[in-house]
Amino acid sequence: MKIAVITDSSCGINDISSIKDLYLVPLMITKEDGEQIADDELFKANDFYNLNDSQLLKTSQSIPGIMMEKWDELLKDYDQVVCLLLSKGLSGQFNTCKMLSNEDNYKGKVFVVDTNGVSIILKKQVHWVLQLIKEGKNGQEISDIIEKANKDFRVFIIPKSLTQLVRGGRISKAAAGLAKFLKITPILKYNGEIDKHGKTRTFKKAIEESLTGLKHFSNKDTIDISYSRVDEETLNMVKETVIKFGFKIGFLDEMPNTITCHTGRETFALGIWL
């Protein structure tokens, strides 16, 4: 059986076109004037950051018509299509595509998987699915395996800068000013949705506290790291701290644009699987 895999741009894989049987249907980024930009491989990182620095960007799900066109195109050459998309806790992407996949043309052929994932989590799931295909699993078996394990991870998100959270209205200027004065860094948790976890003094202590939490969650020794644009000194400090805590570094990638739109520069996500 020949199976194609579709993901969206929240997975953070930058070389999708070079991976056999993997395809991208991008999420959309909306400028302040309403113009929409496809977050695909043509939208380069430098262009995104220049735009994001100059205005408040919003994100939206993939255009449903384009998603269905991709299904139709792939089903000419493949028996089944497996879709691994942004978590339903962050977007309506999953629910929209799940509904469309129930149409007669796609039943038993298109499998929209409830991933709970984004960024390093979704990237891990994509690579896992590609391996399951090599092992001879079909679309339904793959969907069942991923959904059974779609909560077997823990991720902490640590923003060094609160600028973007203020711009997006997620934290007040007064609160951000007080946090900067007191050198307080928030720690967010991700489990399919983003929520508050805690706070600590200094960015480095936030990294250390997050690593302690990950160590208590799992006995695995590999941490995946995603980060938005940050200076080399800070990136090296985070990597050195991870290693100091006895972890190996697995994925080490720049954060997807669709996440950076909300968190801004100088944000790290640290994740581990059971």
Q: Which pTM was predicted?
A: 0.92
pLDDT digits (tens, 9 = 90+) for 193-235: 888 888 888 999 999 999 999 999 999 999 999 999 999 999 9
Listing from the earlier edge strand, what are the strands of the sheet with 194-201? Answer: 194-201, 184-190, 153-159, 267-273, 222-227, 248-254
What CATH code would you report for 153-273?
A: 3.30.1180.10
Residues in the chain with pLDDT values less than 70: 161-184
Query: What pLDDT was estimated at residue 239?
Result: 98
Query: What pLDDT was estimated at residue 182?
Result: 42
Cβ(273)–Cβ(153) below 8 Å:
yes
CA distances from residue 118 to 21, 171, 229 in whole angstroms, order as listed: 20, 22, 18
Query: What pLDDT was estimated at residue 167?
Result: 53
Query: What pLDDT was estimated at residue 215?
Result: 96
Exposure string of 209-234, with b = 16+ CB inside 10 Å and e = fewer, is bbbebbbeebeeeebbbbbbbbeeeb
69/75 Cα distance (integer angstroms): 10
CA 4, 7, 12, 16 torsion-angle sign: positive
Domain ranges of the chain: 3-148, 153-273
What CATH code would you report for 3-148?
A: 3.40.50.10170
Q: Give the pair of three-digit tokens for residue 28.
A: 């959309």
Query: What pLDDT was estimated at residue 173?
Result: 47
83/126 Cα distance (integer angstroms): 9
Query: What pLDDT was estimated at residue 184?
Result: 66
